[in-house]
Amino acid sequence: MAFLLLTLSLFGAIGGLLYLFLVSNFNYWKKRGVLGPKPRLLFGNIPNIVLRKRNFQYDIIDIYREYKGKDRFVGIFNVRNPQLLIIDPKLVQDVLITNFRNFSENEVSKWVDKEVDPLLGRNPFILSGNEWKGNRGEVTPALTTNRIKASYPIMLSVCGKMTKYLEKETKKHIADGIEARELAARYTTEVVSNCIYGIEAGAFEEGPCEIREKGAAVLDQSSASIAYFMLMSTLPDCFRGVFKRPFMKKDMQTYFIQLMKEAIRIRQNTISDRVDFLNYLLQLREKKNLSEIEVAAHTITFFADGFETSSVLISNCIRCLAQHESVQQKLRDEINKTMKENGEVSFENLQELSYLDQCINECLRLYPPAIASNKMCSNTCELMSSKEKPIKIEKGTPILLPFYALHHDPEYYPNPEAFIPERFSPENGGAKKYKEMGVFLPFGDGPRICLGMKFALYQSKAAIVEVDKEVDPLLGRNPFILSGNEWKGNRGEVTPALTTNRIKASYPIMLSVCGKMTKYLEKETKKHIADGIEARELAARYTTEVVSNCIYGIEAGAFEEGPCEIREKGAAVLDQSSASIAYFMLMSTLPDCFRGVFKRPFMKKDMQTYFIQLMKEAIRIRQNTISDRVDFLNYLLQLREKKNLSEIEVAAHTITFFADGFETSSVLISNCIRCLAQHESVQQKLRDEINKTMKENGEVSFENLQELSYLDQCINECLRLYPPAIASNKMCSNTCELMSSKEKPIKIEKGTPILLPFYALHHDPEYYPNPEAFIPERFSPENGGAKKYKEMGVFLPFGDGPRICLGMKFALYQSKAAIVEVIRNWKVKLNPKTNPNFIIDTQHFLCVPEGGTWVDFERINN
């Protein structure tokens, strides 16, 4: 009996201590005078991170809307850890740009350890400080407009494959439709594999595509991983160093390292003048003496940017276009006009498709790739409350930027849930207006903006143009992680690779992939007449092909039958298992000291190996080939030689490019196709703009692409509706103060997480009247364009400030090229099996819809 009582007392004491530990932090914000909802035991204020009954971003949006107008920020808890959710878009801009010095780190930086995550740990998104600066400096030159332009023929080629695939699949699946994200993922896989590794992924072929499967799995976290990270987030920080767990599985790391090696081997044994990402990586490796791991890490950076984000964008865009037949036709008219005038949609034409830009921007608004951004206070500082009271933000405080919430705020976007590309028309000020407002942040903003944004957009545009010019749907779908000097260094390395001139050099690749996408669509539409084609799958094939070619100088074969390895690998880069999620949840709970003890990679070992090998092979092929390609690989090779980069560093850069050009672009393209498919008049208006450009120039050149005003409006509205980053989790890097709405300064301690709710801002009716509507005209030049909303701090699809997505420019060009290709050649309409309501998938980090976007493609006889 005594033993039983002792046992019960012991368990009672342990339970009591555990309870006290879990609730001991719940007065954190109250003590600092910061408003906030009462946290729940075990769940904090974001219960669906654990329960997963709905995407946790909806929890953030609810808090955003409840406290908007009460103060500039709100104190919340992730389990037991305090985070500062930013409500005021001007304060979002302050975190991302003006006060960047104090919020230069992404919160994820403390979760990823280079020892267990050698590839993801070198991603500019994860690095901090000088490491970030150096890495970004290596990656950026590979993503210039000229390099992207050099990759444009690859994108066009993949577009052709996508069209053939669609033509084949539409005949096979007449009733079921085609899942847009699956389509976009095939596309981005093919593009990215070709741009990064110089190989064809075969994403549009029958059977599994290994690179696509591996790519999709890179950041796919298992339930065990989720549980791990939940536990780690609850325990003190000291536990993170004890229980380490990789984000990227070992086999994934191995796969991408081997893929990189093979790509380099092939390039070195081939006479090639390709100025692609692989060419850049080879130059960078030689210049900086990069290790295999460093080169492979760069390829993973490129791969991730070009694969998943782009496929989500493309599929969401397809969804929007499929739901809006008039928008779809308008876009198609724009594409056809460009085709008629130029004979093609060249890289320059792609930049001139105004309505395409509007459609993509509106899609990025509705469904931003980054739903939110988690920053971290890097220096203790102060933020001013609405009452002009300085609030001290301590170093290490997580800062949450709610991109999705901002994009859906009716204050900034009237009727925010509507797909209205005209919001981003030049007459409305374009995307610039909203970006300057701080409410259009699909790729973030500032120095930490998505590196691969530009590539992702070009890749996505090429795919959407291919779909809309070829099809008519019958109904209306890693600089990021670094912080401090690491981030600065990494970004400084990456940024020169993503200039407009480098992207322009990649534009022929994009056009080539667009051609492949069109051929793929032609083939698939014949096979899947009733079933439709999944827009994100199509976009992923396109972005895979573009990114593989632009980054690795290889053709991924994303539009061919059978599995596409690089596409599979790219999709898996950020795919986290439940075990990984559990690990990071655990680490976020434990004290920081434990992070160095229990390390776990985000990127699996086999994925890291794959991309390192892919980078090595791409470099080998490039070095053995006479090539004048001014692409990402070319830049990386120069950077490697200049900075004596290791293989891991070069591979990390390629992963940065890959990630920016692959997933974000495919999501943008597919979401844009979705929006256009739902709005026929918008689709037709965009088509008219494209056709006008075609008629006047005979093609949609790179320069033309930048002039397609309505295309910009569509893309900006899509980015508003579905921002790639739904929110941004920043972290206070220096203790500082934020001013509450009552003008009361609130001290934000270093290390405090800051949550920027991009999605909530994008859907706030104060900023966007009728925020759920797709209205590209919101971003028209007459309305101030995206600039107006960005200046308001309510348009943040890629974030903002120094940490804005590095690949944003590439992502946009890539996406534009794809959208021009689609809208010019096809009428798109949502297949009946697609849920017309966009519900964010609980199993995905990016803004992708549950059930996918299945689209019917109807060929246009140009």
pLDDT of amino acid 215:
73
CA neighbours closer than 13 Å in the CB half-sphere of residue 585: 28
48 and 17 co-located in one domain:
no
Q: What's the average model confidence in pLDDT over 572-577?
A: 58
Which helix (H) or strand (E) is 84 found in, with range?
Answer: strand 81-86
Q: What is the DSSP string of 653-680?
A: HHHHHHHHHTHHHHHHHHHHHHHHEEEH
E strands along 397-470, which residues? Answer: 398-401, 407-408, 410-411, 417-419, 440-445, 450-452
Cα torsion 135, 460, 668, 788 to 10°: value is 80
Q: What's the average model confidence in pLDDT over 311-321?
A: 87
pLDDT above 70 for 377: yes
21 and 36 co-located in one domain:
no
Phi, psi of 773 (to 5 degrees): -85, 145
3-state secondary structure of 356: helix
Cα gap 465→697, rounded to integer Å:
16
pLDDT above 90 for 661: no
Confidence of residue 318 (pLDDT cuts 50, 70, 90): confident
User: Taking phi first (over 0 means left), then psi (-120 to 50 degrees means alpha), and beta for anything else, what does residue 221 get?
Assistant: beta
Closest by alpha carbon to 516, among 280, 70, 103, 205? 205
Closest by alpha carbon to 187, among 835, 857, 819? 819
- Any bridge partners for residue 399, and if so which? 84, 754
Q: Is the pTM of this model over 0.85?
A: no
pLDDT of amino acid 86:
94
pLDDT of amino acid 597:
43
406 and 482 co-located in one domain:
yes
| Weakest mean pLDDT among 202-206, 335-339, 425-429, 577-581 | 577-581
Closest by alpha carbon to 715, among 430, 361, 334, 367? 361
pLDDT above 50 for 358: yes
Per-residue 3-state assignment (H helix, E strand, C coil) for 174-222: ECCCEEEHHHHHHHHHHHHHHHHCEEECCCCCCCCCHHHHHHHEEEEEE
pLDDT of amino acid 179:
85
Residues written for the chain: 862
The amino acid sitting at 580 is: S
774 and 829 co-located in one domain:
yes
Please calculate the CA angle 269-275-276 and round it to the nearest 5 degrees.
85
pLDDT of amino acid 144:
84
Q: What is the DSSP string of 544-581?
A: HHHHHHHHHSBEE-TTSSS--HHHHHHHEEEEEEHHHH
861, two tokens: 């006889």
278, two tokens: 């692989």
The amino acid sitting at 623 is: Q
318 and 457 co-located in one domain:
yes
Helices (H), 505-560: 507-525, 535-552
Condensed to tens digits (0 to 9), the pLDDT of residues 406-419 reads 999 999 999 999 99
Cα gap 219→569, rounded to integer Å:
10
| Weakest mean pLDDT among 165-169, 531-535, 571-575 | 571-575
9 and 101 co-located in one domain:
no
Higher-pLDDT residue of 325 and 839 is 839
pLDDT above 50 for 489: yes
6 and 77 co-located in one domain:
no
Confidence of residue 477 (pLDDT cuts 50, 70, 90): very low
The amino acid sitting at 286 is: E
* CB 611 within 8 Å of CB 276: no
pLDDT above 90 for 566: no
Cα gap 544→672, rounded to integer Å:
18
Cα gap 318→678, rounded to integer Å:
8
* CB 564 within 8 Å of CB 275: no
Please calculate the CA angle 312-316-320 and round it to the nearest 5 degrees.
170
Condensed to tens digits (0 to 9), the pLDDT of residues 759-783 reads 999 999 999 999 999 999 999 999 9
Measured over the CA atoms of residue 275, residue 248, residue 209 and residue 830, the dihedral's sign is: negative
23 and 125 co-located in one domain:
no
763, two tokens: 């859907």
Q: What's the average model confidence in pLDDT over 286-309?
A: 82
Q: How many helical (H) and strand (E) elements, i.e. helices and strands, does the chain have?
A: 35, 37
The amino acid sitting at 776 is: P
As a 3-state breakdown, the chain gives helix, strand, coil percent values, each rounded to 5, of 55, 20, 25
Cα gap 301→119, rounded to integer Å:
9
3-state secondary structure of 276: strand
pLDDT above 90 for 809: no
pLDDT above 60 for 175: no
* CB 827 within 8 Å of CB 472: yes
Cα gap 452→668, rounded to integer Å:
13
* CB 824 within 8 Å of CB 430: no
Q: What's the average model confidence in pLDDT over 474-495?
A: 55
669 and 796 co-located in one domain:
yes
592 and 650 co-located in one domain:
yes
Count of domains for the chain: 2
The owner of tokens 């692989």 is 278
Condensed to tens digits (0 to 9), the pLDDT of residues 515-540 reads 999 999 998 888 866 788 999 889 98
Condensed to tens digits (0 to 9), the pLDDT of residues 34-50 reads 999 998 887 888 888 77
pLDDT of amino acid 783:
92
Per-residue 3-state assignment (H helix, E strand, C coil) for 591-610: CCEEEEEEEECCEEHHHHHH
Higher-pLDDT residue of 663 and 426 is 426
Condensed to tens digits (0 to 9), the pLDDT of residues 603-620 reads 666 777 787 788 888 888
584 and 689 co-located in one domain:
yes
3-state secondary structure of 414: coil
Task: Tell me the C-alpha to C-alpha distance, in Å, between residue 256 and each of 251, 283, 549.
Answer: 9, 19, 15
Q: What's the average model confidence in pLDDT over 10-38?
A: 79
The rounded mean pLDDT for the chain is 82
Confidence of residue 586 (pLDDT cuts 50, 70, 90): low
25 and 36 co-located in one domain:
no
Phi, psi of 841 (to 5 degrees): -65, 125
pLDDT of amino acid 760:
92
pLDDT of amino acid 474:
19
Cα gap 448→445, rounded to integer Å:
6
The most confident of 407-411, 497-501, 593-597, 600-604, by mean pLDDT? 407-411
Condensed to tens digits (0 to 9), the pLDDT of residues 668-685 reads 999 999 999 999 999 999
Condensed to tens digits (0 to 9), the pLDDT of residues 613-644 reads 888 888 888 888 776 677 777 888 888 887 77
Closest by alpha carbon to 162, among 612, 721, 474, 556? 556
Cα gap 52→728, rounded to integer Å:
19
The owner of tokens 């895979």 is 544
pLDDT above 80 for 229: no
- Any bridge partners for residue 709, and if so which? 354
Condensed to tens digits (0 to 9), the pLDDT of residues 844-860 reads 778 889 999 999 999 98
pLDDT above 80 for 261: yes
Contacts of 782 (CB under 8 A, 6+ apart): 425, 426, 427, 428, 429
Condensed to tens digits (0 to 9), the pLDDT of residues 60-82 reads 899 999 999 999 999 999 888 89
Condensed to tens digits (0 to 9), the pLDDT of residues 139-166 reads 888 888 888 888 888 888 888 888 888 8
* CB 687 within 8 Å of CB 824: yes
* CB 639 within 8 Å of CB 284: yes
* CB 162 within 8 Å of CB 521: yes
Cα gap 701→704, rounded to integer Å:
5
* CB 594 within 8 Å of CB 239: yes
Q: What's the average model confidence in pLDDT over 591-601?
A: 50
* CB 395 within 8 Å of CB 122: no
Q: Which domain holds residue 22?
A: 1-31
